[in-house]
Amino acid sequence: MAGGVRYFGLMKRMAICCLMLFALLQGAAGVPAALAADDQPKEGEGSVYYVVPVRNTIDNGLFNIIERAFAEAERKGAKGIVLDINTLGGLVDSALDIGEFIRSSQIPTVAHISGKAASAGSYIALNAQKIVMEPGSSIGAAAVVDSSGKEVESAKTVGFWAGEMRAAAELRGRNPEIAQAMADKTKGVDLPAINRSFSKGEIVALTAEEALKVGYADKVASGVEEAVKLISGGEANPKIVTYAPSFAEKLARFLTNPYVMPVLLLVGIAGVAIEIFVPGFGLPGLIGVTGFALYFFGHYVEGFAGVEEIALFVAGIVLLIIEVFLPSFGILGIAGIVCIISGVVLAAANTESAWLSLGIAFAAAIVVVAIFVKIFKHRGIWNKFILREQLKTEQGYVSNAPKEHLLGKEGVSLTPLRPAGTVKIHEDRIDVVTSGEFIEADRKVVVILIEGGRVVVRELK
């Protein structure tokens, strides 16, 4: 009965947490529509121009922010978009997606480089129709590096990325050799316009003034207003709207960071496992479900996960709980694990990154759960299936009435002893055994040994 109470209590907590998760996701679903205020130009103002910050690491989250910003700008009838770039780069895949999205947009774009447009940032800038650079800014240094920051030497990878850089430059009428040399140090390029030659082994990076002279910047000026003038043709009183990601978007971008994902999964796996194997606390289960909720919330807002992946994950959790309390020889447990892993992996933008995060989290969770179970082993769920109670003599429990007082007493055999039988000692009938010999009925016997409840007799001659 107690196990059933714990089972339904755990199911109730899990159900409440799942409802909270779906409520969060439903609220997040309305984020894009709620972002925009009334940005229509007022009387005396010119056309609307959007400024979209491109900051920090370029990743899938940034792509989703740019996608929403462009959609909002289109709804507001914006005449142009300024990409305010200051980044050291990021994921190549995300940069390629952003570049393709910029090229396919019907709204004119201009890249305003306010700091650095390095690596993937330079590729995004090259896809814009115009480039404005502030004094002291730079563009280039687009060599491919791995997660540890080490430069990738693979000719295939470098060649592909250099080709994409070259194609972006050609599209906007810029010297493709420079873009290729920004990504591939084996190429080198001679730039007489700035009296400089980049030899093989050097990666090209240009200052604002150098970029202007070689045709990689259309203007060097301070402030996004100058970029708006360039794209608007000098329109008077343009209305400049800076797109600001909502709190939900900022949180989602943080939660989908490759370094944060393993932590959320660790919290989720460890919390739920502790609640299942050491029930009764409640808090670990709540924390665990919160970790998973934040994981799916971030990926849902970023547009990577849908309700299907979340439903798959919840089904997996339910199957695991049922397996613990209603064993099915592992069938439900295996199905639950498959559902959980599938939900987590399918919800992520990058399958490889999801597998890596899940592996790290699972390994760490084993250690955490093992420590917790060792400390609270007396509360483990396995105690339901193991009889640990002991009825000790010291506590007043005895399996047989004590018979030590019979030692040396004489009696008469009531039945033949072959070798077991019954004797009468005083007025008591006692079950006894002999040492192996046969004793007939109505013979005198004497008790020679008491072993717990075993009474041994021999015949008196």
The per-residue pLDDT for range 153-188, each reduced to its tens digit, is 888 999 999 999 999 999 999 999 999 999 999 888
Instruction: Find the domain containing 427 and state its range.
Output: 401-459
pLDDT bracket for residue 252 (50, 70, 90): confident
More confident residue, 293 or 11: 293
pLDDT, residue 35, reads: 39
Q: What is the mean pLDDT of residues 95-113?
A: 93
Mean pLDDT of all residues belonging to the chain: 82
Instruction: Give the residue from 244, 276, 304 where a domain finishes.
Output: 244
Instruction: Give the residue from 219, 244, 269 where a domain finishes.
Output: 244
Residue 387 lies in a domain: no
Instruction: Give the residue from 196, 213, 244 where a domain finishes.
Output: 244
Q: How far, in Å, CA of 178 to CA of 130, rounded? A: 17
Shared domain check, 300 and 214: no
Residue 345 lies in a domain: yes
Q: Could you tell me if 414 and 429 are in contact, meaning their C-beta atoms sit under 8 angstroms apart?
A: yes
Shared domain check, 194 and 305: no
pLDDT bracket for residue 5 (50, 70, 90): very low
Shared domain check, 236 and 109: yes
Supply the CATH number for residue 438's domain. 2.40.50.140
Reference 111, options 167, 169, 166, 72; nearest CA is 169
Shared domain check, 305 and 184: no
Shared domain check, 276 and 221: no
More confident residue, 119 or 45: 119
Q: How far, in Å, CA of 398 to CA of 390, rounded? A: 11
Residue 322 lies in a domain: yes
Shared domain check, 218 and 290: no
pLDDT, residue 190, reads: 92
Q: How far, in Å, CA of 52 to CA of 245, rounded? A: 9
Supply the CATH number for residue 58's domain. 3.90.226.10
Residue 142 lies in a domain: yes
Q: Which pTM does this prediction carry?
A: 0.64
Residue 220 lies in a domain: yes
* Model confidence at 309: pLDDT above 90: no
Range name among 172-181, 236-245, 322-331 with the lowest pLDDT average: 322-331
Residue 272 lies in a domain: yes
Residue 384 lies in a domain: no
**pLDDT, tens digit, for every residue of 108-139?**
999 999 999 999 999 999 999 999 999 999 99
Q: What is the mean pLDDT of residues 248-270?
A: 86
Q: Based on the structure, what is the number of domains in the chain? A: 3
Q: What percent of the chain has pLDDT over 70?
A: 83
